[in-house]
Amino acid sequence: MIIERRHYIENLASKKDNGRVKIITGIRRCGKSFLLFELYHSYLNSIGIGNDAIVELSLDEAVNARYRNPLELDAYIRNRVTDTARKFYVFIDEIQYVSEIQNPYLESKEDRIGFTDVILSLMKLKNVDLYVTGSNSHMLSSDVLTGFRGRGDEIYVSPLTYKEFYDAFDGEKRNAWSQYWTYGGMPYVLSLKSHEEKSKHLKDLFEKVYIKDVLERNRIVNDRYVIEDLLNFVSSSIGSLTNPTRLSNAFCTLRHVHISANTISRYLDFLIDSFILKKAYRYDIKGKKYIGTPLKYYFTDIGLRNARLNFRQQEENHIMENIIFNELSARGFDIDVGVVEYNSIDGNGKKIRTQLEIDFVANKGNKRYYIQSALSVADEAKRIQEVRSLERVEDSFKKIVVVRDAIIPWYDDKGVFYIGIEEFLLDETAMDR
């Protein structure tokens, strides 16, 4: 099954031959390799670039293990692009597999060579247009963005959005939504038929790929169970405010072990670096400042979250919230959890300060949207409760309530826009109606 990911192809095509390395990042098995080696390769063929001008190397394959040595990798690529009269397009998959080694030409153990040295070296070849993929954000964001000094373009690839999933879904379209919020958007899931197959695939990704990568990359020896339990705790609390201290307390209460908040914080960062989790900070809308903790964590793919819990906790409101977060992220928004504070008087005439939450404050350029996720607003009392926080925001940016049911989009008399979840996900222009 070929899923055309046009947005990413257009993005890559716009950066072709720009003299910068194109860094394609995202969680493993989300389709980065397919995007580069199949879809973008086909695009290059379609504009007249032959296969002999495209050099491809997958570093996660055992047959290419020798090229995890940075000097071997550099030599291999240079030997493939010796004709300086031609332009070559070099694809290196899973660059984080390249080890850092001591410079063999110097005695100093502190002089090291790694993948950034290889890429910086290859970038100087005028007949090479370089593309790399990677599945570890810390290594790529810290080393790439600082090491390349602004000479790299990062292209983040997410699991399938609902629109991509819907367009490729081979079945009754009315079943697409329930399949998506249950099994998520990892591309291979679309080719599987039964619950057992889909469940096994998603669980295997954790057991055989993601957790193994996190442990090996961060040299964690004895704490696999901590990573496993941490993922389970976060899975159970998506859409809820938490922090490392609360999670440390959960280990004490539920597992009867003490794991420090600092350790929890580091391990959460490792999971974020591997693109398994994302976090959203709280933002004081009136005070125009960020609030430290607690914050919210979301899974990059909702199917992975559900698989962690054996598909037991299927609270559609929290699942919807996670999916909306991922959709906004895929559309290029910076996303915060909104906090609106206001003063009121209680029944005893005492002044009290109240905080209300807006699920998402989505920013991109000069655009901002306030978005609330709600299962239903059919009941008027429920509708009023859902929009309380939105109505306390005094600026003129658009306010949206996304509901589970298919509804005809409408505005209330306060200017709040209501739309069904599927229409919101399938039509990027819906937010600007």
pLDDT digits (tens, 9 = 90+) for 167-181: 999 999 999 999 999
What's the pLDDT tens digit per position in 292-304? 889 999 999 999 9
Residue 345 pLDDT class (50, 70, 90 cuts): confident
The model's confidence at residue 368, banded by pLDDT at 50, 70 and 90, is: very high
263 — pLDDT class (breaks 50, 70, 90): very high
- pLDDT tens for 86-126 read 999 999 999 889 999 999 999 888 899 988 889 989 999 99
d(CA 416, CA 358): 13
Cβ atoms of residues 252 and 242 within 8 Å:
no
CA–CA separation, 105 and 245 (whole Å): 47
Q: Average pLDDT, whole number, for the chain?
A: 93
User: Tokens 């793919």 — which residue?
Assistant: 301
CA distances from 301 to 30, 160, 205, 345 (A): 9, 9, 12, 43
**pLDDT value of position 148:** 62
Is the whole model's pTM more than 0.85, yes or no? Answer: yes
Which residue's entry shows tokens 């910068």? 20
CA 334 to chain centre: 12
Residue 76: what pLDDT?
Answer: 98
pLDDT score of 144: 54
Please write the tens of the pLDDT for every residue from 214-239: 998 889 999 999 999 999 999 999 98
pLDDT at 146 over 70: no
Q: Which range has the worst mean pLDDT, 188-197, 215-224, 394-403, 416-425?
A: 215-224
Structure tokens belonging to residue 382: 């429920």
Residue 24: band (very low, low, confident or very high) from pLDDT cuts 50, 70, 90: very high
How many angstroms separate the CA atoms of 249 and 302, rounded? Answer: 25
Q: In what side-by-side order are the strands of the sheet with 128-134?
A: 54-58, 88-93, 128-134, 21-25, 152-156
The sign one gets for the Cα dihedral 334, 292, 274, 144 is positive
**DSSP labels for 361-410?**
EEEETTEEEEEEEES---SHHHHHHHHHHHHT--S-SEEEEEESS----E
Which of 89, 83, 5 lies closest to 47, judged by CA? Answer: 89
The tokens describing 354, both together, are: 């109240």
Say if residues 23 and 144 touch (Cβ distance below 8 Å). yes
